[in-house]
Structure 1
Amino acid sequence: MTTTPRSPRLLLLSTILLAVAGIALLGVPQGQQPAAPTASPASRTSAGSSSSPSAAAAPAQLPLGRGASAVPAASAPSALQPALAPHGEGAAGDEVIQRSLQAAWPADLPATDERTLCTDGRALLRADATGIGRTNWPGLFPDSRQVAPAFATARFRIQAAIARRDHSPNKAVVHLVWAGTDRGGTFTDLRITDWHFTRTIKKGAATWMPQPRT
């Protein structure tokens, strides 16, 4: 039986940070190691919430799309900041992030359910961020024609996605890590958005229904 992590968002941020740090360290030439971070009172202070991974470095403030609850990208330890500053792995690093999430949070749903949930979660995120496909969920996007998309379609990319139970066999949450360029031209990766689903029975078949964003 898999125990759901007490703080899944913190787990996601920590896992993504470790994945990107691993990619960055692979590019360091042999014989060169990052300088050890200097201890300071700020670095020894524990973070007070999951949205602040480190008190030593303030998280970046990310622009939000309508309904897309992006979490600030995790700040790197001081020793890794030069390597991680560009977030420059692009699509080449997405597979590592995906594998890291799967390894850190073991699957607890049937494979068919997880595929369905991830497919729908990806489509919902794309609709919310770029406007593409909003008409497929009129109950979730009733004002789709009045609200302009917050992110450019050409610069939108889903980096990783996993679906896990949400404290109940009939509830699930899809965690998506993504990158995008907003209308102001600012590109940011390692954004995190969650979509929650509830399983219902219609005509004898189980269906996962997305829940409105709150």
Structure 2
Amino acid sequence: MTTAPRSPRLLLLSTVLLAVAGIALLGVPHGQEQPAPPSTAYATTDPSSAATVPPASKPTAGTDPSATSAASTPSAVESALPPHGEGVPGDPAIQRNLEAAWPSDLPPHDERELLTAGRALLRADATGVDRAKWPEVFPHSGQAVAPAFATARFRIQAAIARRDGSPGRAVVHLVWAGMDRGGTFTDLRITDWHFTRTMKKGAATWTPQPRT
């Protein structure tokens, strides 16, 4: 079963998402009652667990538009995570939040290469499909192992590739959904794949690192 390694980047993402809700609260004028928070969204650093992250609040009815914080504008509200279980329509919002929380810092061609590899690795890890392509990552791929997640119910919701401390290291951060062998479907799962830049046959390429 795929697991999500702990990463300082995940703490950064969670902090930014919480900050969105905090800024929205600051937009309510002094003395005005804050409405009850809407339903929570979920993010997780572990495939089997989820942490609640409140989305940005909308301005209270009757609030003076001139006193409304910028965090309460439609663009800020749209950037909030979609509700848990939103499905495919909510995926673009997750992608926007990832990109806003972690600005791009890689050349476009490196980012494309890393995203392609990261998506394929996650699919192989979760469903068992094409694990033999990465024997260094999946050393027991030749053995018959029941996949942890059903291929038909597996979906990558969002993904970004960023540097991981130095130009020669990178991480692909993925948010995904899937149904496990027990029939439980969960979205907003988080997995990171780490890569190092190596030379193969005279050309630089990104090599995935085995899970620890």
Q: Is the 8 A contact 1:156 1:181 kept in 2?
A: yes
**Deviation sequence 1:176-205 (CA, Å, 0-9, x none):** 000111000111111110100000112321
User: Aligned equivalents of 2:203 and 2:192: distance in 1?
Assistant: 25
Question: How far did residue 74 of structure 1 move?
Answer: 2.2
Q: Is the 8 A contact 1:102 1:162 kept in 2?
A: yes
TM-score by length of 2: 0.68
User: Aligned equivalents of 2:163 and 2:56: distance in 1?
Assistant: 36
The 5 Å alignment of 1:131-142 reads 131-142=128-139
Q: Secondary structure at the match of 2:171?
A: strand
1:11 aligns with 2:12: yes
Count of matched residue pairs: 168
User: Aligned equivalents of 1:169 and 1:198: distance in 2?
Assistant: 9
**Deviation sequence 1:92-149 (CA, Å, 0-9, x none):** 1111111111122111110110111011000000000001111111221122233221
The 5 Å alignment of 1:86-101 reads 87-101=84-98
Q: Is the 8 A contact 2:178 2:185 kept in 1?
A: yes
Q: Is the 8 A contact 2:44 2:188 kept in 1?
A: no
Q: Which amino acid aligns with 1:8?
A: R
Q: Which amino acid aligns with 2:144?
A: Q
1:208 aligns with 2:206: yes
Q: Which amino acid aligns with 1:7?
A: P
How many percent of aligned residue pairs carry the same amino acid? 69
Q: Structure 1 residues 165, 179: CA separation in 2 closer, same or farther (over 3 Å shift)?
A: same
Q: Which amino acid aligns with 1:136?
A: K
Aligned to 2:70: none
TM-score by length of 1: 0.68
Q: Is the 8 A contact 2:43 2:188 kept in 1?
A: no
Q: Is the 8 A contact 2:123 2:129 kept in 1?
A: yes
Q: List runs of 5+ in structure 1 lacking aligned partners.
A: 1-5, 20-32, 38-56, 63-68
Aligned to 1:198: 196
Q: Secondary structure at the match of 2:51?
A: coil
